Every structure is written in structure tokens, then in C-alpha cells.
Amino acid sequence: MLLDSGTSNLLSVQRALDHVGADVVIADQPSMLDDADRLILPGVGAFGHCVANLIENGLFDAVLDYARRERPLLGICVGMQMLFDGSEEFGWNDGLGLLPGRVQPIPMSGADGGRHKIPHIGWATLERSGPDWAGTFLEGFGRDRAVYFVHSFSARPEAVSDILAFADYDGIQLTAAVRRDNIMGTQFHPEKSGQAGLGILSRFLAM
């Protein structure tokens, strides 16, 4: 099931899911999540606006209830950021609190002190945080394959064990993918990442 939070371009995600053979249902009512066996939470734009839309549409508590039933949940881009305790974007805004940690601005300069472009836009490879991706939606993902990012803020999980992958941006490690049990997320856009991204969506659907 694909959640319509009112703050994302559902069409590109829906097309990617259709391409990998998913039976896509777009949910815009809380009751629609009751029988979902998988849920994808996309999001674009400002964190606070995305959360406010979830609350306004009665979907905030519905997502929490869904997640607490230990069913697979995948957040994409701001959808991943909303899984955390909150974000510092335009002041503090509470998130879903499913993963401990906060979302903070990407540093304005690289590890060498040189300024770099914000937002971070473009293709980047993934670096493992742990020893292996076996049993996750990144299983079998080639470390030479790139995925597509567009973001100005980056999640900082409290537990290193929740981080699946980083992306390097001029020597700065940006959280690229997370997982804790049934709660998963990608800062990058799998739906815009070609065959590599389609493979990630396929593995999530097979979990």
C-alpha cells in the first residue's frame, strides 16, 4: 500500500511499483491501513508540513498503529525522515518517533572545510554501515551501483545499529538507509534510481 500524505509525487513511486509487479493501492484514509501487509510512506518538501498533513488527514496515528503491528514499513526521502523523533528544519518539529534520532541540516562544507552545494543532489554509491546486508532490502546490492538523492537535511540515528548504509558527500557520511525490525527507510529515491532502485523495491515487497 502506498500512503497518500498529500505531500509527495505518488505517480513516480506508483509507476516503479507497477514495474516490479506490485498490486498498488493508494491509501488516503486511516481505515485503509487496517488490512495492509506492506506500507510505503513517501514525502517531499518540508518535514513539518509533511507531518502536519499526516495529522490533518488522520494518518499520523494510523501509521503508528500499522507499525506497532510489526508489518513492513518503508519511508522514502522525507518519509524516512518522519520515522525519527523529529527534525530541526524550520525549528523543531516532532516526527513519528519510530526510530530514535533527529534530522539535522547537511553540513555546509565537506571534510576538508571546502563549501559544497546544498541541497545534496545527484547520484552516489552506498557504503555499508555494518558487515553485511543479508536479510535486508539491500541484500545483493552492488557497492558500485549508484542511487539518486535530493535532500538538504540528513537523519542522525541515535543507534548506529539502525543504519544500513551511508552515502559519502565530500567526506561527510550522510545516512542513506535505515532499518530496525519492520521499520525501514531510504533517504534516496529508489523510484528514480533505475534498475538499482527497482531491485530495492522488489526486495522490500518480498520481505
Active site residue 77: yes
In this prediction the pTM is 0.96
| Helices 10-19 and 194-206, axial angle in degrees (round to 10) | 70
Least confident of 29-43, 63-77, 124-138: 124-138
Q: Is the pLDDT of residue 8 over 80?
A: no
Give the list of residues 6+ apart from residue 196 with CB closer than 8 angstroms, or none.
141, 142, 145, 146, 147, 190
Q: Is the pLDDT of residue 130 over 80?
A: no
Mean pLDDT of the chain: 95
Cα 207 to Cα 185: distance, rounded to the nearest angstrom: 14
Q: Is 70 a catalytic residue?
A: no
Q: Which of 77, 89, 120, 151 is catalytic?
A: 77
Tell me whether residue 189 is one of the annotated catalytic residues.
yes
Average pLDDT over residues 14-39: 94
pLDDT of residue 144: 84
pLDDT band (50, 70, 90) for residue 19: very high
Q: What total number of domains does the chain contain? A: 1
Domain that holds residue 166: 2-206
Q: Point out the catalytic residue in the list 50, 120, 151, 191.
A: 191
CATH number at residue 55: 3.40.50.880
50, 89, 120, 189: the active-site residue = 189
